[in-house]
Structure 1
Amino acid sequence: MLKQSLAILLFCFATFCLAQNPVSKKSDSVKIARDSIKKAEFLKNLGNGFLPTNFFDLDLRYLIKFNQYEGFRTGLGGTTNKSFSDRYRVNGYLVYGFKDTRFKYSIGGGFRVNEATNTWINLSYTDDLKETGSSTFLTDKRFFTFFEPRLLNIDLFHRYITKSIGIQHKISNHLLSETQFSASKINPTYNYNFVLGDESFNSFDLSTAKFSLQWSPFSKFELKEDQIVVTRDGYPKFTLQVTQGFKSVFGSDFNFSKLDFRTIQQFTHSNDSKTNITLVAGLAGGETPLTHLYHAYPNNITKETILQRFSVAGLNSFETMYFNEFFSDKFSTLQLKHFFKPFKITERFKPQLVLISRYALGDMKSISRHQGISFNTLNHLYSESGFEINRLLLGFGLSFAYRYGAYHLPNFEDNIAFKFTFNISL
């Protein structure tokens, strides 16, 4: 009887275990799926430069940087995430420059007014530095790397204190827009005077309105888990931005207008190589100070020998063009890159050869308005060509470029740029 009872007990136990086993497997698979989703979301945030926490995502861009004016620059920043609210957000940062011994900061926030069109109204107050002659598009999507190579050698900055309000709106999946109204106090950190008639300005106030459009007509989108996601990144892509400065509005000193355009085309070939073509153009008119004109993204230090100029190549910069060498009120650049299929030497060692040619053309009216700083214009074609061998060791590679054509320099060595490349991004 005892043996029979034990046998029945064992049978029931085995049946119970077998009956529960599929549920256990199902439960495990659900858990694994959830963990995979969480991991993918974490890596996506990290790839965009954010370290997610419960309610606040830390912004990795502000941890540490270096430039010639601030030296090392370090701090913290971030933004609230969906766990905090899917209708409201707060963002900001606080950083400190060890060479200029000054804090910089920004505080802002936004609220969503329409979920279907992802329409947000954003407000911000910023006290920081910006590179003179740089131009960015409001609609540019965020791109994060461990460090920004060009930033290492920049020394021409202006301080700006800006109050802004902006509206970002998705007109369609293919067409994004952003509008911003701002009032700024501009103070160049270098010797500069902007001369208009009998007046001379070494600092000034600007009130501007910007409107930016980003059109991706050949990208494809799908609805996944109530969110529109890009399933195919199509080319070409187009970005257009209009800026208008208003004199006497909130104490603004100047009237000026700017028009910026960029298009990117990419061809993917059957042998796993690809060709990238980028055209950028800008036009500024009216009373535009040097701070808001254009350079052509130079990335060469003004030093005597090639080895003294040895640094890190930028992602889309002219490697043989010296910092502060050229400024323009109208310009265009054309960049051609051909990426060969990576050489598979081992599973982990796959260097890649990239052939590069860059061209720039520009001009400037009323150069005499800009006093205290000397520069040239790009009214002839600037040309450089070269190559990169990327991912030779731990993401590092080598870059070589040669300057030729109208702006070829008399000293042969001055036309050569030999640098590191760094191509790891999260």
Structure 2
Amino acid sequence: MHSQEPNTQQDSAVVLTDSIHKIDYLQHLGNGYFPTKFLNVDLRYLVKFNQYEGFRTGLGGVTNDEFSEKYRIDSYVVYGFKDHRFKYKIGGGFRIHEATKTWINLSYTDDLQETGSSSFLTDKRFFQFFEPRLLNIDLFHKHITKAINIEHQLSNNLITETELAISKIDPTYNYIFVTKDTNYKNFDLTTAKIGLQWSPFSDFITLNDKTIETKDGYPKFTLQLTQSFKNVLKGDFNFFKVDFRKQHKIRYNEDVFSELIVSSGLATGSTPLTHLYHAYPNNITKETIVRRFSVAGVNSFETMYFNEFFSDRFATLQLKHYVKPFKISERYRPQLVLISRFAIGDMHDIERHENITFGTLEKGYSEAGFEINKLLFGFGLSFAYRYGGYHLPKLNDNIAAKFTFNVSL
């Protein structure tokens, strides 16, 4: 019996290693990468659609450890068939400290960004097989950005990222930003950012020099500070931004759980509309419910119309409760999700933003609804109703009915 123990231990180690490889592979896919020998192909760039570019298709990727453990190349190129323009990023990085996963990255990017969108540096990956909000976005600005970026992991539970960037911003729509000195149709920015993501309740293990997350713990906290400098490297404006997000999940059992997301942002100083906030609207400005029928987003306001509101200070609260799936058969289990969303915001010096009309959110925006997911091939249905301070006179204008699409690995 004792003679079999080494083999048993060896077999267990092989099984554990295989499991880690499978987890690693699935995490790559879940993060939007298809791993190959030397290159992880970035699935985000294969095909997308929006109102400005039409179909947008291309190829991107980042080299992996088989290529080099100390150096990496991270680039993409895409083409928009409606605006007839190539967009691209040329980037790379080198590791300066292995234990803390400290990397210095350099990049040159020529692309579009949605006006009013706010992203966190530490959200390296937010991947969906299908991104429904993109379909109807039409308010973009072009940017050419040169950046140097430092990734540093203080611990497995606390990661940081710092970036210094210079950008040329050119809105694709008719917009003028008015300051005391000049009216700007396009402008230059010099910005410094620092982002932190803290996941105090996640668990990790290290095997074969790879750190794998074994427990996705909640709550998670993300904080980002941005400072724009006037007259530094040709920057046109001084402004300061702070962004915060808390994500929480309360799991009652394997199928039943609640999700809560609190987001907030504050911009002070001379901040153009491109770098202010919307509340992630996802409703098309058309007359009837049927003509507005599209695909619901993951964390967007389904009854809020695109370009309806912008803010220089805002906060949102989103609640989702996933009810126990309906067990119609072993494989067919639709799930009801109850949803409530609230947003509040305001804006100083709204007259600075010319040639564009929008409202603010000082009265508080509310919507409630539900989804029935996984009805057929990952598709479901979503219904939402707008009420409270921004309830509209026509009943139909307050209602959004849409598809949902959910695929999980």
Q: Which residue of 1 aligns with 2:5?
A: none
Instruction: Identify the match of residue 315 of structure 1 among 298, 303, 306.
Output: 298
Q: Counterpart of 2:277? A: 294
CA offset at residue 34 of structure 1? Answer: 7.2
Distance 2:18 2:45 in 1: 29
The answer on 1:108 being equivalent to 2:88 is no
- Residue 292 of structure 1 aligns with an amino acid whose one-letter code is H
The amino acid of 2:263's aligned partner reads V
2:223 to 240, 252, 256: 240
- Superposed CA RMSD in Å reads 2.0
Q: Which residue matches 1:180?
A: 163
Give the deviation of 1:265 after TM superposition. 1.4
Question: Is 2:92 the counterpart of 1:81?
Answer: no
| 1:254 paired to 2:237 | yes
| Alignment partner, residue 170 of structure 1 | 153
Instruction: Please say if 1:132 is aligned against 2:115.
Output: yes
2:233 aligned counterpart, secondary structure: helix
Bigger Rg, structure 1 or 2: 1
Q: Distance in 1 between matches of 2:163 and 2:12?
A: 47
**TM-score, normalising length: structure 2:** 0.95
How far residue 264 of structure 1 moved from its aligned partner, in angstroms, is 1.1
Shift of 1:342: 1.6
Q: Tell me by how many angstroms 1:51 deviates.
A: 1.6
The answer as to whether partners of 1:260 and 1:281 remain within 8 angstroms in 2 is: yes
Shift of the alpha carbon at 1:420? Answer: 0.2
How far did 1:36 drift? 6.2
Question: How far apart in 2 are the matches of 1:271 and 1:36?
Answer: 21
Q: Secondary structure at the match of 2:396?
A: helix
Instruction: Return the letter of the residue paired with 1:312.
Output: V
Alignment correspondent of 1:224: 207
Are the equivalent residues in 2 in contact too, given 1:383–1:403 (CA < 8 A)?
Answer: yes
Tell me what 1:282 maps to: 265
Residues in 1 aligned to 2:110 and 2:226: alpha-carbon distance in whole angstroms: 21
Contact kept in structure 2, 1:328 and 1:377, CA below 8 Å: yes
Letter in 1 for 2:211: I
Q: Give the CA deviation at 1:247.
A: 0.4
CA distance in 2, matches of 1:26, 1:262: 44
The partner residue of 2:308 within 314, 317, 325 is 325
Work out the CA distance in 2 between the residues paired with 1:110 and 1:132.
Answer: 28
Amino acid at match of 1:226: D
CA distance in structure 2 between the aligned counterparts of 1:168 and 1:36, rounded to whole angstroms: 28
Q: CA deviation at 1:271?
A: 7.4
Distance in 2, Cα, partners of 1:30 & 1:157: 51
**Counterpart for residue 60 of structure 1:** 43
Structure-1 residue corresponding to 2:3: none
Q: How much does 1:223 deviate?
A: 2.4
Cα distance, 1:381–1:80 mapped onto 2, change above 3 Å: same
Moved more, 270-279 or 135-144: 270-279
The residue aligned with 1:119 is 102
Match of 1:371 in 2: 354
- Once the two structures are superposed, residues 369-411 of structure 1 have per-residue CA deviations (whole angstroms, 9 ceiling, x without a partner) of 0001000000111000000000000000000000000100000
What does residue range 198-213 of structure 1 map to in structure 2 within 5 Å?
Answer: 198-213=181-196
* Residue equivalent to 1:7: none
* Residue 332 of structure 2 is aligned to residue 349 of structure 1: yes
The answer to whether 1:400 aligns with 2:383 is: yes
Give the structure 1 partner of residue 319 of structure 2.
Answer: 336
Aligned mates of 2:85, 2:98 — CA distance in 1: 40
**TM-score normalized with structure 1 length:** 0.91
In the TM superposition, residue 175 of structure 1 has moved relative to its aligned partner by: 1.0
SS at match of 1:251: coil
Match of residue 190 from structure 1? 173
1:84 Cα deviation after fit: 0.2
Q: Distance in 1 between matches of 2:18 and 2:315?
A: 48
SS in 2 for 1:346: coil
Q: Is the 8 A contact 1:144 1:425 kept in 2?
A: no
In 2, Cα distance between the equivalents of 1:62 and 1:226? 30
Q: Cα 1:33–1:261, aligned 2, differ >3 Å: closer, same or farther?
A: closer
Kept in 1, the 8 Å contact 2:24–2:212? The answer is no
Q: Secondary structure at the match of 1:399?
A: strand
Distance 1:27 1:179, change over 3 A: closer
Identity of aligned residues (%): 67
Structure 1: distance between partners of 2:254 and 2:173: 50
Please identify which structure carries the higher helix content: 1
Q: 1:369 to 1:26 in 2, by over 3 A?
A: closer
Summarize deviations over 1:30-66 as a string: whole Å, max 9, x none.
9988776655543332222112221111111100000
Could you tell me which runs of 5 or more consecutive residues in structure 1 were left unpaired when the two chains were aligned.
1-24
Provide the C-alpha distance between the structure 1 equivalents of 2:63 and 2:317, rounded to a whole number of angstroms: 38
- Give the aligned partner of residue 13 of structure 1: none
Go from structure 1 to structure 2 and tell me whether the alpha carbon gap of 1:362 and 1:228 turns closer, same or farther (over 3 Å shift): same
The structure 2 residue matched to 1:390, chosen from 349, 373, 379, is 373
Determine the C-alpha separation between the residues in 2 that align with 1:413 and 1:233.
40
Letter in 2 for 1:126: T
- Separation of aligned partners in 1, 2:35 and 2:145: 28
